[in-house]
Amino acid sequence: MKTENLKGRKIIVTGANSGIGYEAVKVLSKKGAHIILAVRDEQKGQKSVESIHKEVEEASLTLMKLDLADLQSVRDFAETYTSRYESLDILINNAGVMIPPYEKTKDGFELQFGSNHLGHFALTGLLLPLLKKTQNSRVVTLSSIAHRGASIDFYNLDGSNGYKAMKFYGQSKLANLLFAKELDQRLKQHGISTLSIACHPGISSTNLFKFRKSEAPAFVKKLMQILFQPPEMGALPTLFAATDARLNGGEYIGPNGRGNRKGLPAIETPASGVYNQETMNRLWDVSEALTGVKYDFS
């Protein structure tokens, strides 16, 4: 996939120290962008920076601490970034937590909904002033095919009335998709040039066994390599969403193969009935109330 020259562009990638985020940073850095790797574990992040520099000597990278499961950390990150930089060309909401045991964030949210959706919702809102100032900026938010069949249970967002890891993962990824669409609608309503685009990586081998204490058996790893996309392929929809000049905002980008599990990036149609405006409005209002972050579109 051809990616345009990005020299001088400022790009934030959350969860950039591994998997899809890491692969995206490598490609974007080769195109001249200055990339801020927003990571929870700075030690792991530093190793990733060193690894990228070995492959892309000219890479322009900055490591910054961001814990999406802690709203104060999100606020600190946004404040630090805003004090250092006067523009933001692309925000890639990539970081994700997948099917962990039941756990809550520092602010008392269920971990997957809190990190995957609310953390990114707050981050985007806090960085919106810079995005608005930067002509033709973009917000790319990663969803998942797990949004299919998912729903938002507004009466049990924190999991206190029962928790199933995969169900709550699907809920968080549906929330990512609805947020991306509603954000684009509101940006357009206010005449703001920033685009909001959703994407997903298909099924990438980086997503599985993330929370297992033991390594996957060798035969399972081999099977994963055959059936699932490697992370560099899984990163292609993200790169497409972040850089393709033909996109107008509001699209959903995913692999074009069977079931959208693997393949080359293309504009995809989400599951039928996903974009329910009442649900999108309610999710937005709840997200602002829970995070305390109000979006300023003026």
Q: What CA–CA distance (Å, rounded) separates 102 from 136?
A: 39
Confidence of residue 220 (pLDDT cuts 50, 70, 90): low
| Domains: count for the chain | 1
pTM for this model (two decimals): 0.93
Using DSSP, state whether 245 is helix, strand or coil: coil
Residue 170 lies in a domain: yes
Question: Looking at the predicted structure, is the pLDDT value of residue 195 above 50?
Answer: yes
Residue 204 lies in a domain: yes
* pLDDT tens digits for range 115-174: 999 999 999 999 999 999 999 999 999 999 989 999 999 999 999 999 999 999 999 999
Domain coverage including residue 132: 10-289
Residue 36 lies in a domain: yes
Distances (CA, A) of 200 to 6, 38, 60, 238: 22, 19, 26, 7
Q: Render 21-54 in DSSP notation, one character per residue.
A: HHHHHHHHHHTT-EEEEEES-HHHHHHHHHHHHH
* pLDDT tens digits for range 253-272: 999 878 777 889 999 998 88
The Cβ-side half-sphere exposure at 286, using a 13 Å CA radius, reads 21
Residue 183 lies in a domain: yes
Are 118 and 292 in contact, with CB atoms under 8 Å apart?
Answer: no
* pLDDT tens digits for range 45-59: 999 999 999 999 999
Task: Look up the CATH number of the domain holding residue 16.
Answer: 3.40.50.720
Q: What CA–CA distance (Å, rounded) separates 99 from 207?
A: 10
Edge-first strand listing for the sheet containing 252-255: 60-65, 34-39, 10-14, 90-93, 138-142, 195-199, 252-255, 265-267
Residue 294 lies in a domain: no
Return the closest-CA partner of residue 89 out of 24, 48, 36, 49: 36
- Predicted pLDDT of residue 231: 85
Structure tokens at 45: 């992040």
Q: Could you tell me which residues are beta bridge partners of residue 84?
A: none
Mean pLDDT of 11-20: 96
Residue 295 lies in a domain: no
Specify the higher pLDDT residue, 178 or 221.
Answer: 178
Residue 4 lies in a domain: no
Residue 72: Cβ within 10 Å count: 10
Return the closest-CA partner of residue 232 out of 278, 264, 279, 191: 264
Confidence of residue 1 (pLDDT cuts 50, 70, 90): very low
Give the active site residues: 169
Judging by DSSP bridges, how do beta strands 60-65 and 265-267 pair with one another?
unpaired
Residue 297 lies in a domain: no
Widest pairwise Cα distance in the chain: 55
